[in-house]
Amino acid sequence: MRKLCNIVARQTPLTLSPDTTVQDACVRMRDRATGSVLVTDENKALVGIFTTNDVVCRVIAPCKDPAKVTLQDVMTPAPQTLSPEKSAIDALRLMWDGGFHHVPLTRAGEVIGIVARSDFTADEHEHLARERQLWEHMR
Protein backbone atom coordinates (compact mmCIF):
# COMPACT_ATOMS: atom_id res chain seq x y z
CA MET A 1 0.00 0.00 0.00
CA ARG A 2 1.36 3.40 -0.98
CA LYS A 3 2.38 5.92 1.64
CA LEU A 4 0.82 9.36 1.47
CA CYS A 5 4.25 11.01 1.16
CA ASN A 6 4.66 9.22 -2.19
CA ILE A 7 1.35 10.60 -3.45
CA VAL A 8 2.27 14.22 -2.60
CA ALA A 9 6.00 13.99 -3.33
CA ARG A 10 6.04 16.78 -5.93
CA GLN A 11 3.02 18.68 -4.64
CA THR A 12 2.96 22.31 -3.62
CA PRO A 13 -0.43 22.73 -1.97
CA LEU A 14 -2.34 25.98 -2.36
CA THR A 15 -2.18 27.84 0.95
CA LEU A 16 -3.89 31.15 1.66
CA SER A 17 -4.47 33.32 4.70
CA PRO A 18 -7.82 33.40 6.54
CA ASP A 19 -8.49 36.98 5.37
CA THR A 20 -8.40 36.03 1.67
CA THR A 21 -11.75 36.58 -0.04
CA VAL A 22 -13.61 33.60 -1.40
CA GLN A 23 -13.51 35.17 -4.86
CA ASP A 24 -9.71 35.42 -4.77
CA ALA A 25 -9.45 31.87 -3.43
CA CYS A 26 -11.69 30.55 -6.22
CA VAL A 27 -9.61 32.30 -8.89
CA ARG A 28 -6.46 30.73 -7.45
CA MET A 29 -8.14 27.32 -7.20
CA ARG A 30 -9.15 27.59 -10.85
CA ASP A 31 -5.67 28.68 -11.92
CA ARG A 32 -4.06 25.79 -10.01
CA ALA A 33 -6.76 23.28 -11.06
CA THR A 34 -7.32 22.24 -7.46
CA GLY A 35 -10.43 21.61 -5.42
CA SER A 36 -9.12 22.85 -2.09
CA VAL A 37 -7.19 25.52 -0.23
CA LEU A 38 -5.27 24.97 2.99
CA VAL A 39 -5.83 28.01 5.17
CA THR A 40 -2.74 28.93 7.18
CA ASP A 41 -1.92 31.62 9.73
CA GLU A 42 1.03 34.02 9.74
CA ASN A 43 3.26 31.23 11.09
CA LYS A 44 2.18 28.88 8.26
CA ALA A 45 0.26 26.69 10.73
CA LEU A 46 -2.85 25.01 9.34
CA VAL A 47 -6.01 26.65 10.70
CA GLY A 48 -8.61 25.45 8.19
CA ILE A 49 -9.53 23.99 4.83
CA PHE A 50 -11.75 25.42 2.10
CA THR A 51 -13.07 23.23 -0.71
CA THR A 52 -15.30 23.50 -3.76
CA ASN A 53 -18.06 21.95 -1.66
CA ASP A 54 -17.73 24.89 0.75
CA VAL A 55 -18.17 27.31 -2.17
CA VAL A 56 -21.51 25.71 -3.02
CA CYS A 57 -22.84 25.02 0.48
CA ARG A 58 -21.48 27.96 2.48
CA VAL A 59 -21.24 30.77 -0.09
CA ILE A 60 -23.42 30.38 -3.20
CA ALA A 61 -26.45 28.56 -1.74
CA PRO A 62 -26.85 31.02 1.17
CA CYS A 63 -26.35 33.96 -1.27
CA LYS A 64 -23.16 35.35 0.30
CA ASP A 65 -21.02 37.73 -1.76
CA PRO A 66 -17.77 35.90 -2.67
CA ALA A 67 -16.02 39.25 -3.10
CA LYS A 68 -16.76 40.18 0.51
CA VAL A 69 -16.79 36.95 2.51
CA THR A 70 -13.40 35.65 3.66
CA LEU A 71 -12.08 32.13 4.01
CA GLN A 72 -12.17 32.50 7.78
CA ASP A 73 -15.94 32.92 7.56
CA VAL A 74 -16.63 29.77 5.51
CA MET A 75 -13.71 27.36 5.96
CA THR A 76 -13.78 24.18 7.98
CA PRO A 77 -11.66 25.10 11.01
CA ALA A 78 -9.07 22.74 12.52
CA PRO A 79 -9.46 19.96 9.93
CA GLN A 80 -8.39 16.44 10.71
CA THR A 81 -4.91 15.74 9.39
CA LEU A 82 -2.66 12.75 8.80
CA SER A 83 1.06 12.20 8.80
CA PRO A 84 2.55 11.77 5.33
CA GLU A 85 3.98 8.48 6.61
CA LYS A 86 0.49 6.95 6.85
CA SER A 87 -0.84 4.68 4.13
CA ALA A 88 -3.36 5.45 1.41
CA ILE A 89 -5.89 3.19 3.12
CA ASP A 90 -5.53 5.22 6.35
CA ALA A 91 -6.53 8.36 4.43
CA LEU A 92 -9.42 6.63 2.67
CA ARG A 93 -10.70 5.29 6.00
CA LEU A 94 -10.56 8.75 7.56
CA MET A 95 -12.36 10.31 4.59
CA TRP A 96 -15.06 7.63 4.64
CA ASP A 97 -15.58 7.81 8.40
CA GLY A 98 -15.55 11.62 8.43
CA GLY A 99 -17.64 12.10 5.30
CA PHE A 100 -15.17 14.39 3.57
CA HIS A 101 -13.06 14.28 0.41
CA HIS A 102 -9.77 15.99 1.35
CA VAL A 103 -7.19 15.34 4.08
CA PRO A 104 -4.31 17.73 4.79
CA LEU A 105 -0.96 16.12 5.55
CA THR A 106 1.20 17.64 8.27
CA ARG A 107 4.45 16.77 9.99
CA ALA A 108 5.34 18.50 13.27
CA GLY A 109 2.76 21.21 12.51
CA GLU A 110 4.15 21.88 9.02
CA VAL A 111 1.86 21.53 6.01
CA ILE A 112 3.29 18.88 3.68
CA GLY A 113 0.43 18.44 1.21
CA ILE A 114 -3.15 17.36 0.76
CA VAL A 115 -4.80 14.26 -0.65
CA ALA A 116 -8.25 13.93 -2.17
CA ARG A 117 -10.31 10.83 -2.84
CA SER A 118 -9.47 11.20 -6.52
CA ASP A 119 -5.74 10.78 -5.76
CA PHE A 120 -6.19 7.11 -4.95
CA THR A 121 -6.15 4.17 -7.33
CA ALA A 122 -9.05 1.86 -8.04
CA ASP A 123 -7.18 -0.88 -6.15
CA GLU A 124 -6.94 1.34 -3.06
CA HIS A 125 -10.65 2.15 -3.21
CA GLU A 126 -11.44 -1.54 -3.70
CA HIS A 127 -9.27 -2.42 -0.69
CA LEU A 128 -11.36 -0.09 1.47
CA ALA A 129 -14.60 -1.51 0.08
CA ARG A 130 -13.51 -5.07 0.90
CA GLU A 131 -12.42 -4.01 4.37
CA ARG A 132 -15.73 -2.24 5.06
CA GLN A 133 -17.66 -5.25 3.77
CA LEU A 134 -15.72 -7.51 6.12
CA TRP A 135 -16.46 -5.25 9.09
CA GLU A 136 -20.16 -5.19 8.19
CA HIS A 137 -20.18 -8.98 7.96
CA MET A 138 -18.59 -9.25 11.42
CA ARG A 139 -21.33 -7.15 13.07
With beta carbons less than 8 A apart as the criterion, state whether 21 and 72 touch. Answer: no
| Phi, psi at 72, each rounded to 5° | -55, -35
With beta carbons less than 8 A apart as the criterion, state whether 104 and 46 touch. Answer: yes
- CATH number of the CATH domain containing 66: 3.10.580.10
Query: Each residue of 80-102: pLDDT tens digit?
Result: 999 999 999 999 999 999 999 99
Residue range of the domain that includes 102: 4-138
Query: Each residue of 15-33: pLDDT tens digit?
Result: 999 999 999 999 999 999 9
The domain total for the chain is 1
Nearest to 66 by CA among 77, 52, 78: 52
Query: Each residue of 124-136: pLDDT tens digit?
Result: 889 888 888 877 7
State the DSSP H helix or E strand holding residue 103, giving kind and residue range, or none if neither.
strand 102-107
